[in-house]
Amino acid sequence: MQIIPAIDIIDGKCVRLTQGDYAQKKVYNEDPLEVAKSFEGAGITRLHLVDLDGAKARHIVNHKTLENIATHTQLHIDFGGGIKSDADIEIAFNSGAKQVTGGTIAVKNKDLFLSWLEKYGAERIILGADVLHGNIAIHGWQETADLPLNNFLEDYTEKGIQYAICTDVSKDGLLAGTALGLYREIRAQFPDLRLIASGGVTTIQEIEELEKIGCFGVIIGKAIYEGRISLKELSKF
């Protein structure tokens, strides 16, 4: 299972929100590259980079931060937040992203999202399946669509999606545990989907459980920044 630390960017700084609330922002480091290098130095190979300004503005904003990390590390970066147009996705890939995550766009402009899947291939496009009370959350979790998670995943797996990041918004940033039951259900229903669990991961034991469930990867954010899980502990994965 892949260990994937998260760096969320606002104003070029490494921050974390609580349940997607921009009013509950905490800055952890002024220099995201420094944070990325610390992950790489611990043997981690992947990074989940989120442009929170972009998610709010509905177009890519922090591509220079992406480019800086991609240029100065060997990390495999998946990038998301505000990618809403052909121009946005081209900027992301040209700035060094190995994969791009699309969530809102997959709900609001399905044809465009599917055109990216066809153009760039299933290895480079990740479906962002953020969920709140069973329905898909969009626009940086500011809205909930009238679209059940299972229907969303079923539709896109039939269209060829191989990777999905599923974040339980109700768990995110609270350090109160992740949605193990939800991920068990998804793995049972979509066994061929490379599921990346995200939101609320707080302990090494949870990571071990996600590995047993058969998740492809796990995204860890606040638990690292708050010292609940150390990079040394993660090295065994």
Closest CA to 32 of 57, 62, 3, 58: 62
* CA-based end-to-end distance of the chain: 7
Q: Which of 53, 78, 88, 130 is catalytic?
A: 130
8 given a catalytic annotation: yes
Map residue 126 onto helix, strand or coil: strand
Instruction: Decide if 84 contacts 56 (C-beta within 8 A).
Output: no
78 given a catalytic annotation: no
DSSP secondary structure letters along 16-57: EEETTEEEEEEEEES-HHHHHHHHHHTT--EEEEEEHHHHHH
111-to-4, 63, 85, 128, 136 alpha-carbon distances in Å: 29, 24, 11, 16, 18
Q: Which of 8, 51, 88, 168 is catalytic?
A: 8
Active site residues: 8, 130
